[in-house]
Homo-oligomer: A and B are copies of this chain.
């Protein structure tokens, strides 16, 4: 049987654990999986583009587990009152192909993106970082901020979005977090004096959110929104101001802000830093840049984390997404009116059985 976590189940799980703790815990899963880099089968995601957006599949596996995420990016969904990013994913056993978990991943994508950003900033940002600017106050911004609060101890956030309603929503959602929240009138104002700058905008365009004159010595730039061909956030000269760190170089060359740079432009992969093979921040005055695009490994970690947590809390339901047969060579028995598949008894009219209330 396959465990199923829908949006309600994952949201309930995250509320039970507490979102800050969940991001911090997941950051540990991600860092630990990145340290096993060589054990993973890695491929760039498979992307299907349309005029309005992109749909992607992001698979990866180690010797034991296979995971993939289905995810889209459609900036104009907002006009239809739909989320820009929607996602779901699956975890399966490599030895049998049996799906272990099917889960919503819209929430989990926000959590794992924040957890990755926080895990990376933990080793790249200055240890005394207290102030973060957040450019782009959409669906993922709360997760980023609470992740940086939980993992790095950020105390103040400076917000900017071209949409004042998005900014107001973020202010409202941060009201009871204990953070000092400052709204800014421009990107420049938000960024000035910040220790960490997070850009997480949604527009599918070659945008220039950060220009070189805004960058200060010692800053860590967490560039999250530039994540597919033709979708960037940083002026190309910003990328020359410090070392650039990426998740998986072949994918980031195509999708990241470094798509603006020649193939020879030097980058460092996260696993090298997390494993200690490459240096992290070298001087207090260095600028460090995480050119985040989102890599399948973090989704693998996210599914592993949520599956372990759901097992511990006995959460979710089970579904028959694949058959369990008395005789596996007799798939046709499913079509016989007499022979029925081996399935746990469920109540009449209820296709899915809830494990816990």
Contacts and interface: CB of A to CB of B under 8 A. Distances in A.
Contact of A68 (B52, B57, B169): B57
B351 A9 contact: yes
A160 to B, nearest CB: 15
Contact of A323 (B107, B319, B343, B357): B107
Contact of A55 (B14, B97, B329): B97
A335 B84 contact: no
Interface stretch (A43-51, A183-191, A240-248, A267-275): A43-51
A331 B97 contact: no
A316 B82 CA distance: 24
A104 interface: yes
A221 to B, nearest CB: 23
A74 interface: yes
Given A48-B66, A80-B96, A321-B88, A329 B169 contact: yes
B48 A61 contact: yes
A37 interface: no
Given A88-B322, A321-B7, A335-B11, A52 B139 contact: no
A330 B139 contact: yes
A66 B55 contact: yes
Interface residues of A, number: 91
User: Considering residues A59, A70, A140, A325, which has the most beta carbons from chain B within 10 angstroms of its beta carbon?
Assistant: A70
User: Considering residues A55, A80, A331, A352, which has the most beta carbons from chain B within 10 angstroms of its beta carbon?
Assistant: A331
B57 A74 contact: no
Nearest to A347: B350
A96 B316 CA distance: 27
A77 B328 contact: yes
Interface in A2-51: 4, 6-9, 11, 14-15, 19, 41, 43, 46, 48, 50
Interface in A64-89: 66, 68, 70-74, 77-78, 80-88
A21 to B, nearest CB: 12
Interface in A121-135: none
A114 to B, nearest CB: 11
Given A77-B328, A142-B332, A173-B336, 20 more contacts: A8-B351, A43-B46, A48-B59, A50-B61, A50-B94, A52-B96, A53-B96, A55-B92, A57-B59, A68-B70, A77-B96, A83-B322, A83-B331, A87-B322, A104-B323, A139-B329, A139-B330, A316-B351, A350-B352, A352-B352
20 contacts: A7-B322, A41-B48, A48-B94, A50-B63, A50-B94, A52-B95, A52-B96, A53-B95, A55-B97, A72-B96, A74-B97, A77-B328, A83-B331, A84-B328, A86-B99, A86-B323, A106-B323, A139-B332, A166-B329, A351-B354
Interface of A: 4, 6-9, 11, 14-15, 19, 41, 43, 46, 48, 50, 52-53, 55, 57, 59, 61, 63, 66, 68, 70-74, 77-78, 80-88, 90, 92, 94-99, 102, 104, 106-107, 110, 137-140, 142-143, 163, 165-166, 169, 173, 316-317, 319-325, 327-337, 341, 343, 349-352, 354, 357
